[in-house]
Structure 1
């Protein structure tokens, strides 16, 4: 009698070598993004900020701090967030999180939010920079030029990716501050900071550029 070979499954997906955590607030916008198949494709672990324990982010190669989190809870866990990059991994901080209060060396300057510049025909003064940078293999102008909630500055030699080009005292255009940058110099790891709030607008079904940015950001950090 011929021996029967044991059944072995061949359709199991391989285990990913990298682990992604997305820290969220449980808001409707975050919950919407957390059910989006395009987000789930990156197999993230969703970490509820309220339940985050000490050491809860250990072992993750990439941590995204979702936008518009509770400021007191962010401050309480700021050391954990910083530790991600200090271990040599990737920390991504989305907008409206007062990052200047818990990441060292950052200055913040608020700006009025213009939701409708594309309707009124105004120049949003948002400009892309560092076009040779790897991020532009994933980002596009449509994914980053919508609106923002202020400008960031730092003396560190970071890579500016999105800036506000405004007139100086003599009326000449200059880069007044950044809305998106990558920092690979202040820690052994990588810190990506933006004043854009893509999860909020994606989950609110308002601002198509925000959805493009969220998807492109996930591709960028996954591939690099």
Structure 2
């Protein structure tokens, strides 16, 4: 089993997620962001960067956490986080209106899967990626968009309105970046699909 790290800020939802027996089965190393140093990321094959972390502390820890990808490992960066300015390859992250209740009103929230032959879909269900999001990502050229939105579409949705992508070009390793915040919603027990996304990411990258 790969060595997994779980970067968190000690919030109730992050601690509840970390304590989940299904997550503990992966034997994650708890990395507390306010006290994190370079040694905390040594030897990790995969690092989950929890959503909703303190932006200043996250930017400060970025050089250390990115060493996981620089060594050839995987870094999974979840939203809602401020990732512009320190995440390699990311060209932009634009704010987006969040519709929390679309599945109750019958609306189409515009979320679509892409690159259906990608290995990610062996681990992620439709429900896992189709709930809500907190931003529109513009990944680097050469990255693989996996989820995008067709709402208010301008230009190429696979470049300009991406919600989840895999980046194998910006570091020697792999960056998986999402505009969704599954740790918060799984730990809060609020949002269909969040738990499926979290567990699916663990299976995919573990």
Q: TM-score range by the shorter chain?
A: over 0.9
Is 1:20 equivalent to 2:4 in the alignment? yes
Equivalent pair of 1:166/1:173 in contact (CA under 8 Å): no
Structure 2 counterpart of 1:68: 52
1:123 Cα deviation after fit:
1.4
Structure 1 counterpart of 2:163: 179
Q: In the alignment, which of 188, 195, 199 is matched to residue 204 of structure 1?
A: 188
1:198 Cα deviation after fit:
0.3
Q: Using the alignment, how far apart are the partners of 1:194 and 1:105 within structure 2?
A: 14
98-107 vs 113-122, greater mean Cα deviation: 98-107
Is 1:156 equivalent to 2:138 in the alignment? no
Q: Using the alignment, how far apart are the partners of 1:68 and 1:214 within structure 2?
A: 15
Q: In the alignment, which of 89, 99, 106 is matched to residue 73 of structure 2?
A: 89
Q: Using the alignment, how far apart are the partners of 2:157 and 2:198 within structure 1?
A: 28
Is 1:43 equivalent to 2:10 in the alignment? no
Is 1:219 equivalent to 2:170 in the alignment? no
Structure 2 counterpart of 1:135: 120
Structure 1 counterpart of 2:104: 119
Which ranges in structure 2 are unaligned for 5 or more consecutive residues?
none
Which ranges in structure 1 are unaligned for 5 or more consecutive residues?
1-15
Report SS of the residue matched to 1:22: strand
Equivalent pair of 1:156/1:186 in contact (CA under 8 Å): no
Number of equivalenced pairs: 204
Indicate the structure with greater helix content: 2
Structure 1 counterpart of 2:177: 193
1:21 Cα deviation after fit:
0.5
Give RMSD over aligned pairs: 1.6
Is 1:110 equivalent to 2:79 in the alignment? no
1:96 Cα deviation after fit:
1.4
Equivalent pair of 2:5/2:31 in contact (CA under 8 Å): yes
Structure 2 counterpart of 1:12: none
**Bigger CA radius of gyration:** 1
1:55 Cα deviation after fit:
3.0
Q: Using the alignment, how far apart are the partners of 2:16 and 2:139 within structure 1?
A: 33
Q: Using the alignment, how far apart are the partners of 1:188 and 1:67 within structure 2?
A: 24
1:105 Cα deviation after fit:
3.3
Equivalent pair of 1:129/1:161 in contact (CA under 8 Å): yes
Report SS of the residue matched to 2:189: coil
Report SS of the residue matched to 1:160: strand
Equivalent pair of 1:25/1:49 in contact (CA under 8 Å): yes
Equivalent pair of 1:166/1:174 in contact (CA under 8 Å): no
